[in-house]
A and B are shown apart, each in its own frame.
Chain A
Amino acid sequence: MSAELVRALGTAARVRAHAAPQDCACSTPVLADRSDGTVVRHGELVVKAHASDTERARLDVQLAVAAHPALNGILLAPLPSLRTEFDGRPLTYWPHGTPVDPEHPERAPWEAAGDLLARLHGTPVDVLPGPLSPMRGPLKAARAVSRIRAALSRTRDAALHPAAAVVERAWATLPAWARAEAPLTHAAALCHGDLHLGQLVRHEGRWLLIDIDDLGTGDPAWDLARPAAWYAAGLLLPDEWARFLGAYRAAGGPAVPADEDPWPALDVPAKALTVQTAALAVAKAVRENRALDEVEETVVRACDRIAALPAELT
C-alpha cells in the first residue's frame, strides 16, 4: 500500500527495538499491509499501524486489557510505549511471535486455540480496565455484506449476482443483534472478536492470541463461530473441529454447554460467519474479475442452505 507508511513503521520499529538503532543490521519485513492493519517486524519487535478510523480511547482500553496480568498467558502483551501515530493511524508495539505456518495449516494448534479462547472467555470482566466496548464480530459481518454491495455497484459482471443474492438472503435470516443492527444483550464475556489461525503466535514457548482491534464484551460463541462455520460447510475436518471444541470444553469455556449439543449456541454466530466469509469471497471475486473457486462456491452453497431455513428470531 503506502511505501511511506511502511518506511515510517520500519524507522519507528528500529528506534523502539534498539538503544543504538543506527548500528543495527536487522531486516524489516512487512508482515501485513492492509487498510485495517499494517504490521512491520524489526528484530524481535513488531509495530502495527491500526486503521485510520480507530477510536483512540477504545484502543487504549484494549491495550490496557492485553497488558493486564489476568490475560498473562492468553493475550500477547504490548510493549510499553508513548502514544504515537502516523498519518492518523495509531501505532502500537509488540514482541515478535512466530505465527502458524500458512503453508502447513494441518499443523494448526487447534487444542491451543480452544484452550486460549476458553480462558479468555472465563476472564472476569470486572477486574479488567474499562470501559470495554462490545466486541466487533457482528459489525465485521455487516461490513463484509456492505462490501459485497459496494463491489457489485461497480461491476457489470452479472455472473456473480446470483451468489451475491444468495448471501443477502442468508443474511436476512439472521437476528438484528447478529447483523449489528441491535445491541447484544444476552452475553457479556470477554471476546476476541476476529478469531482465525493468523491470530495465534508462539512466544516464549507458548501459544498466545494476538490482534486486539475487535476485542470487547459479547457472546463468546462468536469466537468459536469461524471454525464452526468451516466445519458446517464441510471444509474443516471433523477431527480438527473435535480437537478445537474438545479443548475449549476441557478448559471450561462458557460459550457452549459442557456435554450437550453445542449447535443451539453456535448456530447464529456460525451462520453470520458463513455469510461474512461468502460476502468477502464474492466481493473479492468481483474486484478481481474472476469466477468463484471451489472453496468459495462451497461457502456460498452453505449460505443457500441457511437461506432455505426459517429465519432466526433471537
Chain B
Amino acid sequence: MQCPKCHAAMHTYNRNGVQIEQCSGCRGIFLDYGELESLTRLESQWSQQVPPPAPAPQAYPAPPAPAWGAPHHGGQHGHHGHHRNKSFGRMLFSS
C-alpha cells in the first residue's frame, strides 16, 4: 500500500502481534482498526511487569520482633545479619 500523506511505499512490521505499516519515505505509521487499542493494552501489561519501587528483599515478611528490636527490623537497613562478621561469629558460640 501507499502512504496516504506522501504516497511512498509502506512496509508492514509485526510488533508483539500487532501489524504496523510504516512509510518508507516520511516514516509515518498507519494503524488498522483495533491496533491502537492493542498497543495500549500491551503498554499497560508492560508497566504492570515493572516491579514496585523498593520491594521487601525477602519472599516472606520478617517474623515479629519486640518493641525494643533493632529499627527497620526485617529490612536491609540496620540489619547486620547479612554481613555477619567475626565478632558475631564468636558471639554465636559463647556463653
- Contact indicator A235/B63 (Cβ below 8 Å): no
**Most B C-beta atoms less than 10 A away, residue of A140, A235, A236, A302:** A235
8 tightest Cβ-Cβ pairs between the two chains A and B: A234-B70, A237-B81, A295-B87, A305-B68, A238-B62, A198-B93, A232-B69, A197-B92
How many of A's residues come within 8 Å of B, CB to CB? 47
- Contact indicator A196/B64 (Cβ below 8 Å): no
- Contact indicator B80/A309 (Cβ below 8 Å): no
- Contact indicator A196/B88 (Cβ below 8 Å): no
Q: Which of A238, A301, A305 touches B63 (beta carbons < 8 Å)?
A: A238
Judge if B53 is at the interface, Cβ distance under 8 Å: no
Q: Which residues of B contact A230 (CB under 8 A)?
A: 88, 91-92
Chain A 227-244 against B: per-residue CB contact (8 Å), 1 yes, 0 no?
000111111111111100
Compute how far the CA of A27 lies from the CA of B65 in the bound complex, rounded to whole angstroms.
Answer: 46
Binds A, one of B6-14, B28-36, B39-47, B71-79: B71-79
Q: A235-B81, A271-B68, A305-B69 given. 5 additional CB < 8 A pairs? A: A105-B88, A230-B91, A235-B80, A237-B79, A238-B63
CB of A279, distance to nearest CB on chain B (Å): 12
Which B residues fall within an 8 A CB radius of A? 58, 60, 62-70, 73-74, 78-82, 84-85, 87-95
Judge if A300 is at the interface, Cβ distance under 8 Å: no
CB of B59, distance to nearest CB on chain A (Å): 10
Judge if A33 is at the interface, Cβ distance under 8 Å: no
Compute how far the CA of A237 lies from the CA of B89 in the bound complex, rounded to whole angstroms.
Answer: 13
Which A residues fall within an 8 A CB radius of B? 36, 100, 102-103, 105-106, 108, 140, 194, 196-198, 230-242, 245, 261-263, 266-267, 270-271, 277, 280-281, 293-296, 298, 301-302, 305-306, 308-309
- Contact indicator B85/A295 (Cβ below 8 Å): yes
Q: Which of B65, B89, B93 touches A232 (beta carbons < 8 Å)?
A: B65
Compute how far the CA of A102 lies from the CA of B88 in the bound complex, rounded to whole angstroms.
Answer: 11
26 contacts between A and B (CB under 8 A): A36-B95, A103-B89, A105-B88, A105-B93, A106-B84, A196-B93, A196-B95, A197-B92, A197-B93, A230-B88, A230-B91, A233-B69, A234-B73, A235-B81, A236-B81, A237-B79, A238-B62, A242-B63, A245-B63, A266-B66, A281-B91, A294-B85, A296-B87, A298-B70, A302-B70, A308-B68
